[in-house]
Chains A and B, each alone.
Chain A
Amino acid sequence: MTVTTDAKTSGGGEAPPPEDLVSLTIDGAEISVPKGTLVIRAAEQLGIEIPRFCDHPLLDPAGACRQCIVEVEGQRKPMASCTITCTEGMVVRTQLSSPVAEKAQRGVMELLLINHPLDCPVCDKGGECPLQNQAMSTGSADSRFDGKKRTFEKPVPISEQVLLDRERCVLCARCTRFSNQIAGDPMIELLERGALQQVGTGEGDPFESYFSGNTIQICPVGALTSAAYRFRSRPFDLVSSPSVCEHCSVGCATRTDHRRGKVMRRMAAEDPEVNEEWLCDKGRFGFRYAQRPNRLTTPLVRDPETGELTETSWPEALAAAAAGLTAARERTVRDREADVRTVDATGTGVGVLAGGRVTYEDAYAYGKFARVALRTNDVDFRARTHTAEEAEFLAAHVAGRGLDLDGTGLSHTAVERAPAVLLAGFESEEEAPGVFLRLRKAHRKHGQRTFALATHATRGLEKAGGTLLPAAPGTETEWLDALSGGVGLDERGAEAAEALRAEGSVLIVGERIAAVPGALTAAVRTAAATGARLAWIPRRAGERGAVEAGALPDLLPGARPAGDPGAREQVAYAWRVADLPSGQGRDTGAIIEAAAAGELHALVVGGVEVADLPDPARATEALEAVDFLVSLEQRPSEVTDRADVVLPVSAVVEKSGTFLNWEGRARMFEAALKPDQMTRRHVQPDGRVLHMLADALDVSLALPDVRATRRELDRLGGWDGSRAAAPRHRTRSAPQPGSGQVVLAGHRMLLDQGRLQDGDEALAGTRHAALIRVSAPTAEAFGLVDGAEARVTGPAGFVQLPLCVTSMPDHVVWLPLNSTGGGANRDLGALPGQLVQVGPAPAPAAAPVPGATDASAKKVEA
């Protein structure tokens, strides 16, 4: 945007051509703005702040509150500056130069306050309230109103998470417009009329939007409050620290508000390139896991006599851990000399599982620790379904590429601008809500077409105006090949194939697509054939950074192939070691298998949940089989239960670090809670703990803190050698369900039993119902009734939930993967793409249900 002083904003965006500018005068100052700019925005550019409530730059204008009234020359009436666009030669006078505007604004402010309870001293918003602030700037010191205020019962819970105080509401309709326009969840609406107008929900239809928290933040008064935060603190008592959300790979900018070492709330921060001004409810409300009473603050060592974990000092714990790891390595050497059949042929008898929630720096420390301290490539961050094909795909197409890496790659903006988007193995609203908001915005603003290769049209897909390309699990590869060839497609498929060929189209693959043989290979092929740009969007925040940091068996930091001697040499030089291990590393699945089979004698495990692993039963066996288990954890888990040494580590809020989001954008953050603000015992980040553990092993990891890590990463730089080869995997024929069998499909819901949501009861109250889905013909074939309980049975057990007959491919059953029991992987013993059985739930007299939960109790805390 250009001001007449021709000073350009620092954004560096192209200036619009002069014919698209209009010039106007506001309070005597001239300004040129692009056509279509609202007067209130143009005034902002001149530094003239017009008071407002309903106006919000990311919402469609409403003109409801009338607070922003200005005078426009030639107009009979004063006008709301939030609804009128600038025209050539317009002369605007705001409250600064027009007595009419000034009186109107003062009058509207007085009217807004006549029915407002003025309970600022007990209101959450007091101190950060636009009504309070603007009443000071624009209102009169005393009200002339001495009548009776209208009163309402309060607060009304419009969901378990959001409370409504109708007396405070100024009816600006920001919340309803946000929900309608941005989130696509029209679950709140204005009801009644006149002074009784109020925000409300439908009967029995609560505000279960994944984005409901944004309404609390954009509410210009204290009408919408968070059940979990209400009356907990005052804004002026809070310390606000900029932060980055640790939940998904979007990397939303957040603001962490804390007081006396305790996080009180989290807000969306502004970042137009990433999350605009929005944040999903998981990002906003899911932070209390780090302040649960069971946080680990002291190292624990298993007492050899009692078998119990006992609190101990750091030096002792580190020595114990080092001794255990050394013993495991020595046993491997001995085994190898003794030619034991189960010897670790390529490694040193120790494997490292980092988990997908690590920061970039911590992931780097895990990778370096494995290679330098343990002399092995047996390190993997993937605690989910993964394959060799995926590892190859990551090495060839993801590592080293991205906005802040080589400057290439897709961005949120590019996704928003794309004429068409194909999603494969990716459910945007559940797995990366920030991406969903872009897709919906793009659909609303320019009719972007979204296509999804999935079993059924999710709410997220529908709200983004998307089209389903129905794909049974395992058929995605075929679909992708058909789309790239443009043959053998039905009408919708042909539309998708054509749309993807438009300039700027995008193909997004999620982490779940890894489970389908040949799909990632086919995705690369499809991108090449259609010209669509390819993006990989994993679910967890740490995954993208962990790829870059080399927390993978076949990747060293900076996209260097571990199998490339030159790459190893470069890294060895930077790490000041003679050489790096050259053996073929194991991935997560292989590490677990080797540990369970007795080839690995010790494991170092970061933030990994057993239930997240592809085969939780085998993983449990592995954890129990190894001689020695070191766990780096924040709170007790199934891993710490079996660990010999538990080393407590800091939560994201307590440490500095970087998340690389899916764009490859570096999202650096400082610790929100500084050590001196902590009331709990301060613990160190994973990287620092690994550094100390390496010290105990008599190896210098040289990563004492984040600054040192970042310096080393900078020194290491990128890789200009040859890249890993692209994956060349072929599809295998999709599993053919035999009689009585169906193919399992599923994804995780945004709000489920994830451990980073522990302790947020109000958040859990807005989980979407967990349902089993099958098609109508399948329901009929298996005697299932819509709405009645159905049971999916796998080798390990069953999951029982209400059935929702859904339009989807036949002989497929869809389940939420971590909403009930011990998670579907564990309860069924089967993964998506595998065959399971489905049937009606037996009569309630049946035996107690292990792991399976009645879905009506979806609010049961994990």
Chain B
Amino acid sequence: MTTESPEKLLTPVLSEFWDQPESWTLETYRRHHGYEGLRKALEMPPDDVIAYVKDAGLRGRGGAGFPAGMKWQFIPQGDDKPHYLVVNADESEPGTCKDIPLLFANPHSLIEGMVIACHAIRSNHAFIYLRGEVVPVLRRLHLAVREAYEAGYLGKDALGPGKNLELTVHAGAGAYICGEETALLDSLEGRRGQPRLRPPFPAVAGLYACPTVVNNVETIASVPTLIREGQDWFRGMGSEKSPGFTLYSLSGHVARPGQYEAPLGVTLRQLLDMSGGMRPGHQLKFWTPGGSSTPMLTDEHLDVPLDYEGVGEAGSMLGTKALQCFDETTCVVRAVTRWTEFYAHESCGKCTPCREGTYWLVQLLRDIEAGRGVPGDLDKLDSIADTINGKSFCALGDGAAAPIFSSLKYFREEYEQHVAPRSPGDATARGCPFDPAATTAWADGPHAKTAHQEVKA
């Protein structure tokens, strides 16, 4: 990358007109080439659409990075069964905040992408499984779907004469596990959301035991522009293996948090440069590349290209590109404890390692933070995380283990400080040496002192 104005690095596609008045309406969308990609796609035979998306190299934006075209290709054709497209909009990972703003500001990009995908996989019924807590987004989605029906993009003959397309928006009931695709399908079918045994994979027996594609919001929303602007344009961004643009969600102790849409492979340093860096007077301590379940990285990794391969080589995962940045005021033990509490709360309970392991981890971490830990606890943490990692039924367990492993890898000393006496003379004073108030947004403000004291009180 060059050294010219950092903003030049941005490639706003999905976020192109978020700042327009009523960006979420069909009218605004149409003004910005909305539904042009669909027209082009409907002229192509379905298999060609699949091949086109595959050749463009669009990879899943939900975290795993599986090639979208290949996923579509897995759907058996001519099997006389209904095919379903299910969009995973159950965004609930700590730190992850890209799909919700996208749906809030530009819901039609998803709907257009869904119509194209349904054309490709020959589906007549598509579903959006939306995280239930985000009611304003639910309203906007309902409105957008209604507009699309009225405009004929959905409903009767939407995919051509005699080829109807129904779109159902479903609001989940608030379980992180329902972002796991098979648990999502169970939940969508009206069952308790718990991951299913695979095989059979959703492509063979998904929703209602029929071939089903489950894609992330951003993946599908990227399709219309890809079709409209073409493979070459798409491949002009990012790398050979990770082409295209994507939303990076910058949050935490940064000066200007928000969504930064850029080609895959941009670095955190570049993103921080254009977002004004960390909050004044502070330095980056650790960050997650893609939400709390991707192993954390440190300031050593500022120049890691944020694409699937680059982050993988650095020992983490690109995940959802939720770049949560923590500065030196943050206690890593405290952050990991909060995340682990989240996983324990959200563990579905199906398998032993995740259910019992997170239960135990929380107790240990809370003890360590409160000064009740002993040095042996660190190895215990590591060993429990090892029993969870790779042994649990689904990836939730792996996600719960990731912060433990990575924090112990980079910040073991800090853990040790928590379990060691704080001064040689006083064996009773243990626990967290950090001031939690210092991490707050108001800590450095004009009334810092008072705020600090209030918190302490």
A78 to B392 Cα, complex, angstroms: 10
Which of A44-88 touch B at CB < 8 Å? Answer: 61-67, 69, 76-78, 83
A62 to B197 Cα, complex, angstroms: 7
Given contacts A107-B387, A145-B360, contact A195 B353 (CB under 8 A): no
Q: Could you list some 13 contacts between A and B, CB below 8 A?
A: A61-B197, A76-B390, A77-B391, A107-B386, A108-B353, A108-B391, A111-B352, A111-B353, A115-B356, A147-B364, A189-B192, A193-B346, A194-B347
How far in angstroms is the closest Cβ of chain B from A255?
Answer: 30
Q: Does A114 contact B (CB under 8 A)?
A: yes
Using Cβ atoms and an 8 Å threshold, which residues of chain B touch A189? 192
Given contacts A66-B392, A83-B197, contact A194 B360 (CB under 8 A): no
A67 to B192 Cα, complex, angstroms: 23
* B353 and A107 form a contact (CB under 8 A): yes
Q: Mark B338-362, 1 if CB is under 8 A from A, else 0.
A: 0000001111111111011111100
Chain B residue nearest in CB terms to A196: B349
* A111 and B363 form a contact (CB under 8 A): no
Q: Does A197 contact B (CB under 8 A)?
A: yes
* B356 and A112 form a contact (CB under 8 A): yes
Chain A residue nearest in CB terms to B366: A147
A192 to B175 Cα, complex, angstroms: 11
* B391 and A107 form a contact (CB under 8 A): yes
Pick the most buried of A63, A103, A148: most chain B CB atoms within 10 A of its CB. A63
A192 to B383 Cα, complex, angstroms: 27
Q: Does A171 contact B (CB under 8 A)?
A: yes
Using Cβ atoms and an 8 Å threshold, which residues of chain B touch A111? 352-353, 356-357, 360, 384, 387
Name B383's contact: one of A61, A64, A107, A112 (CB within 8 Å): A107
How far in angstroms is the closest Cβ of chain A from B14?
Answer: 32
* B347 and A64 form a contact (CB under 8 A): no
Name B359's contact: one of A61, A62, A194 (CB within 8 Å): A194
How far in angstroms is the closest Cβ of chain A from B346?
Answer: 7
Give 10 nearest A-B pairs by CB, closest first. A197-B349, A107-B387, A111-B356, A147-B363, A77-B390, A194-B347, A195-B359, A193-B349, A194-B349, A66-B352
* A192 and B349 form a contact (CB under 8 A): yes
A164 to B98 Cα, complex, angstroms: 44
Name A66's contact: one of B197, B359, B391 (CB within 8 Å): B391
How far in angstroms is the closest Cβ of chain A from B350?
Answer: 5
Using Cβ atoms and an 8 Å threshold, which residues of chain A touch B383? 107
Given contacts A77-B391, A83-B197, contact A63 B360 (CB under 8 A): no
Q: Does A523 contact B (CB under 8 A)?
A: no
A83 to B346 Cα, complex, angstroms: 24
Name B352's contact: one of A78, A108, A150 (CB within 8 Å): A108
Using Cβ atoms and an 8 Å threshold, which residues of chain A touch B345? 194
Q: Does B393 contact A (CB under 8 A)?
A: yes
Chain B interface residue bracket vs A = 20 to 34
How far in angstroms is the closest Cβ of chain A from B315?
Answer: 15
Binding site for B on A (CB under 8 A): 61-67, 69, 76-78, 83, 103-104, 107-108, 110-112, 114-115, 144-145, 147-148, 150, 170-171, 189-190, 192-197
Name B347's contact: one of A150, A190, A193 (CB within 8 Å): A193
Using Cβ atoms and an 8 Å threshold, which residues of chain B touch A76? 390
Using Cβ atoms and an 8 Å threshold, which residues of chain B touch A104? 387, 391
Which of B373-423 touch A at CB < 8 Å? Answer: 380, 383-384, 386-387, 390-393
How far in angstroms is the closest Cβ of chain A from B171?
Answer: 18
A147 to B362 Cα, complex, angstroms: 10
Given contacts A193-B175, A193-B348, contact A69 B391 (CB under 8 A): yes
How far in angstroms is the closest Cβ of chain B from A280?
Answer: 28
Chain B residue nearest in CB terms to A106: B387
* B349 and A66 form a contact (CB under 8 A): no
* B360 and A66 form a contact (CB under 8 A): no
How far in angstroms is the closest Cβ of chain A from B32?
Answer: 42
How far in angstroms is the closest Cβ of chain A from B38?
Answer: 38
Chain A residue nearest in CB terms to B380: A144
Using Cβ atoms and an 8 Å threshold, which residues of chain B touch A196? 349
A64 to B359 Cα, complex, angstroms: 17
How far in angstroms is the closest Cβ of chain B from A37?
Answer: 15
Given contacts A66-B393, A194-B344, contact A114 B356 (CB under 8 A): yes
Chain A residue nearest in CB terms to B360: A114
A428 to B193 Cα, complex, angstroms: 35
Using Cβ atoms and an 8 Å threshold, which residues of chain A touch B347? 193-195
Pick the most buried of B356, B358, B359, B392: most chain A CB atoms within 10 A of its CB. B356
Given contacts A64-B393, A104-B391, contact A195 B349 (CB under 8 A): yes
Using Cβ atoms and an 8 Å threshold, which residues of chain B touch A63? 197, 351, 393
* B391 and A190 form a contact (CB under 8 A): no
Given contacts A104-B391, A110-B387, A194-B346, contact A115 B197 (CB under 8 A): no
Chain A residue nearest in CB terms to B392: A66
Chain B residue nearest in CB terms to A116: B356
Chain A residue nearest in CB terms to B379: A144
A478 to B407 Cα, complex, angstroms: 79
Chain A residue nearest in CB terms to B344: A194
Chain B residue nearest in CB terms to A172: B352
Chain B residue nearest in CB terms to A111: B356
A170 to B359 Cα, complex, angstroms: 14
A111 to B352 Cα, complex, angstroms: 7
How far in angstroms is the closest Cβ of chain B from A67?
Answer: 7
How far in angstroms is the closest Cβ of chain A from B405?
Answer: 15
Given contacts A64-B351, A107-B383, A107-B387, contact A195 B393 (CB under 8 A): no
* B349 and A147 form a contact (CB under 8 A): no
How far in angstroms is the closest Cβ of chain A from B319?
Answer: 17
Using Cβ atoms and an 8 Å threshold, which residues of chain B touch A65? 351-352
Using Cβ atoms and an 8 Å threshold, which residues of chain A touch B352? 64-67, 108, 111-112, 170-171
How far in angstroms is the closest Cβ of chain A from B173?
Answer: 11
Chain B residue nearest in CB terms to A148: B363
Chain A residue nearest in CB terms to B363: A147
A849 to B217 Cα, complex, angstroms: 68
A111 to B391 Cα, complex, angstroms: 12
A195 to B346 Cα, complex, angstroms: 10
How far in angstroms is the closest Cβ of chain A from B390?
Answer: 4
* B357 and A171 form a contact (CB under 8 A): no
* A114 and B387 form a contact (CB under 8 A): no
* A194 and B387 form a contact (CB under 8 A): no
Give 16 A-B pairs besides A64-B352, A108-B353 with Cβ atoms closer than 8 angstroms: A66-B352, A66-B353, A66-B392, A77-B391, A78-B391, A107-B383, A111-B352, A114-B356, A150-B359, A170-B352, A190-B192, A192-B349, A193-B346, A193-B349, A194-B345, A197-B349
Chain B residue nearest in CB terms to A60: B197
Using Cβ atoms and an 8 Å threshold, which residues of chain A touch B356? 111-112, 114-115, 195
A115 to B380 Cα, complex, angstroms: 17
Using Cβ atoms and an 8 Å threshold, which residues of chain B touch A83? 197
A61 to B358 Cα, complex, angstroms: 24
Chain A residue nearest in CB terms to B397: A66
Name A108's contact: one of B175, B360, B387 (CB within 8 Å): B387
Using Cβ atoms and an 8 Å threshold, which residues of chain A touch B177? 193
Using Cβ atoms and an 8 Å threshold, which residues of chain A touch B346? 193-194
Using Cβ atoms and an 8 Å threshold, which residues of chain B touch A112? 352, 356
A77 to B391 Cα, complex, angstroms: 7
How far in angstroms is the closest Cβ of chain B from A123?
Answer: 19
Name B355's contact: one of A61, A103, A144, A197 (CB within 8 Å): A197
* B351 and A194 form a contact (CB under 8 A): no
A83 to B195 Cα, complex, angstroms: 14
Q: Mark B185-210, 1 if CB is under 8 A from A, else 0.
A: 00000001000010000000000000
* A78 and B390 form a contact (CB under 8 A): yes
* B348 and A194 form a contact (CB under 8 A): yes
How far in angstroms is the closest Cβ of chain B from A65?
Answer: 5
A108 to B353 Cα, complex, angstroms: 6
Using Cβ atoms and an 8 Å threshold, which residues of chain B touch A147? 360, 363-364, 367
Chain A residue nearest in CB terms to B175: A193
How far in angstroms is the closest Cβ of chain B from A61?
Answer: 6
A193 to B351 Cα, complex, angstroms: 11
Pick the most buried of B355, B383, B386, B390: most chain A CB atoms within 10 A of its CB. B355
Given contacts A62-B197, A64-B393, A83-B197, contact A171 B359 (CB under 8 A): no
